[in-house]
Chain A
Amino acid sequence: MHHEVEKVGDEIIIIRLKGELDHHSTQEIRDEIVPMIKNGTIKVLVWNLKDLNFMDSSGIGLILGRMRELAPIDGQTIIVNPSETMRKIFQFAGLSPYICSDSEIDIMSKLGGIVYGQ
């Protein structure tokens, strides 16, 4: 299974991870997302974990790494649909505040207001 990266407008990227996220598979995803963030306009990363069957601490490294890249422009990170085990892992790493219980569609409509509505 292959992950899906969708750019919505200039400011939002939705990353739909699939299969298993470990040290081996993070490299490929990182290589795809980093250049998209570096081009400067991205303000929000949505990590949708609905179809992710497994994640270890490599996932924490991947998400924290991107948060650091977004920090200078005050970018936002949103995590949706983590499994029970993933929820615990995020909690250990202090990432629980970034988990959102809304659906991807609800998040997108709220973000529409934030990002485009000023």
Chain B
Amino acid sequence: MDNEITLSFIAKSENEALARMVMSSFIAAIDPTIEELSEFKTVISEAVTNAIVHGYEEDGTGKIEIHARREDREIVVSIVDYGRGIRDVNQAREPLFTTKPDEERSGMGFTIMESFSDDVEIYSIPNRGTTVTITKRFVPIQETSRIV
């Protein structure tokens, strides 16, 4: 029943949709609710976009890796970049905090990741990179209505 994948791609914005698509397929075996699936996709999108926009400033060459593991109904996903890193992780987590207000980033990325998952861990070293590890537990099948 359990599964594990690794996905690697370059820091290009068109890969945001690709990452969401691959991760949606990865959790299909869990048979998530529509809500769970769309929240999970949002979490992936936020973390991958951060790696592209902040980690690599969209340089189109930096490598991003996604490591995903499924154990029963729990998914653990790490989004890894080797970019600029985050100097103050606690500040980065604050709602509305952004270092790119001029590019219309809203500073809501980490708030959304935390609200739509069960755990968000950030491990970052300035000028070395950032790893964001997200854990999301999906409700047992019989408790909710399913996608038909």
User: Contact residues of A with B, CB < 8 Å?
Assistant: 20, 22-24, 26, 30, 54-58, 60-62, 64-65, 83-85, 88-89, 92-93
Contact = CB atoms under 8 A, between A and B. Distances in A.
Interface of A is mostly: helix
A58 B17 CA distance: 13
Given A23-B16, A92-B115, 20 more contacts: A23-B49, A23-B53, A30-B104, A54-B41, A54-B45, A55-B42, A56-B42, A56-B49, A57-B108, A60-B106, A61-B104, A61-B105, A62-B104, A64-B104, A85-B35, A85-B38, A85-B42, A88-B116, A92-B112, A93-B106
B91 interface: no
Contacts, number: 71
A89 B112 contact: yes
A30 B112 CA distance: 22
Contact of A83 (B38, B95, B104, B116): B38
Contact of A54 (B38, B108, B115, B116): B38
28 contacts: A20-B17, A22-B16, A22-B17, A22-B45, A22-B49, A23-B16, A23-B53, A24-B14, A26-B104, A30-B104, A54-B20, A55-B42, A56-B45, A56-B49, A56-B112, A57-B46, A57-B109, A58-B106, A60-B108, A61-B103, A61-B106, A64-B106, A84-B38, A85-B116, A88-B115, A88-B116, A89-B42, A92-B112
Interface of B: 13-14, 16-17, 20, 35, 38-39, 41-42, 45-46, 49, 52-53, 95, 103-106, 108-109, 111-112, 115-116
Contacts of B52: 23
A85 B116 CA distance: 9
A92 B16 CA distance: 22
Q: Which of A57, A84, A92 has the most CB of B within 10 A?
A: A57
A43 to B, nearest CB: 21
A42 to B, nearest CB: 18
A115 to B, nearest CB: 27
A24 B49 CA distance: 9
